[in-house]
Amino acid sequence: GQSLEQPSEVTAVEGAIVQINCTYQTSGFYGLSWYQQHDGGAPTFLSYNALDGLEETGRFSSFLSRSDSYGYLLLQELQMKDSASYFCAVRVGTGGFKTIFGAGTRLFVKA
């Protein structure tokens, strides 16, 4: 089976930097994704890492270490609109592919 661990809640102030960690245990691992979900909305894709290292997309960066089964999402210059739930998700497959989500981290951005 698969398991993902991420903190349940993180609080930060506007303008700050926050890092959300994710550790996973899975077989057939292909990559790690991050999704954002606002209350009442659908999850939306943020980033995907298949290889070790850092991927940067604007204010958001994502990191993966396959040997450590670990990744993180880094959010810089936090804005109030970044208050949402953030899910790490592993892409796994043995011929087909599916994405398994963690329980999510609730980010609260304070003024």
Q: Interface mask (CB under 8 A) for other proteins, residues 18-57, using x and -?
A: ------------xx-x-------xxxxx--x-x-------
**Does residue 96 interact with other proteins by CB under 8 A?**
yes
**Closest residue by Cα to residue 20 from 63, 51, 59, 49:** 63
3-state secondary structure of 53: strand
**Residues whose CB falls within 8 Å of the CB of residue 3, separated by 6 or more in sequence, listed in order:** 24, 25, 26
Q: How many residues bind other proteins (CB under 8 A)?
A: 24
**Does residue 99 interact with other proteins by CB under 8 A?**
yes
Structure tokens at 91: 């892409």
In this chain, which of 78, 104, 107, 109 binds other proteins, going by CB under 8 A? 104
